[in-house]
Amino acid sequence: MSVKILFVCMGNICRSPTAEGVFRKLVRQEPQLEYVKVDSCGTIGYHVGEASDPRSVAAAKKRGYDLSEIRARQLSKQDLIDSEHILVMDNDNYQNTVVLADDDPTIIEKVELFLDYAKNSTLREVPDPYYGGAKGFDQVIDLVEDASFGLIEKLKG
């Protein structure tokens, strides 16, 4: 039996692949969570097939995370059906994901803001670093790590 965790942002080149890479590494350090599968996608298809933003890759690499194999893809209705946890980065992507769920309550109940699992942040949304500088990509990793530890705690409980 496996549990699929799906991280969702807009283009799947900054925030959600960072979440995928960070969470994948952290969950691998928890032997009792070997059943957890991790993936990411975007609500839009602008970057399908592209590698993660080089600034995301560089920021992640500095912190020991590897995003090099992740390629952008667009969220599908099948993703929503196949995932037990659908963790979105912000309210816009929450709304886009819920619309794709087509009023199916069994899917909608699985959609959550990822930062609801953070213990050390008052933010509810992971800011999009795309139009900013390197500092924004570091902030994304800080937030993603915080929320990842909270989610791991829930999965272990």
Of residues 112, 118, 122, the one with CA closest to residue 145: 118
Contacts 24+ apart (CB under 8 A), 90-96: 90/9, 90/125, 90/126, 90/127, 90/128, 91/124, 91/125, 92/10, 93/8, 93/9, 93/10, 93/43, 96/43
Catalytic residue annotation: 9, 15, 128
Structure confidence at residue 71 (pLDDT)? 98
Contact 137, 107 (CB under 8 A): no
Q: What is the rounded average pLDDT for all residues in the chain?
A: 97
Quote the pLDDT of residue 45.
95
d(CA 70, CA 49): 9
Which CATH architecture fits 3-156?
A: 3-Layer(aba) Sandwich (3.40)
Element spanning 134, H or E: helix 134-156
Domain boundaries, the chain: 3-156
- In whole angstroms, give the CA distance from residue 45 to residue 36: 26
Return per-residue pLDDT of the chain as tens, 157 residues.
899 999 999 999 999 999 999 999 999 999 999 999 999 999 999 999 999 999 999 999 999 999 999 999 999 999 999 999 999 999 999 999 999 999 999 999 999 999 999 999 999 999 999 999 999 999 999 999 999 999 999 999 8
First-to-final CA distance of the chain? 17
Say what the pLDDT of residue 1 is: 80
Going by C-beta distance under 8 Å and a sequence separation of 6 or more, which residues neighbour residue 97?
8, 43, 75, 80, 86, 88, 111
Whole-angstrom Cα distance, residue 51 to residue 47? 8
Nearest alpha-carbon partner for 130 in 33, 32, 18 = 18
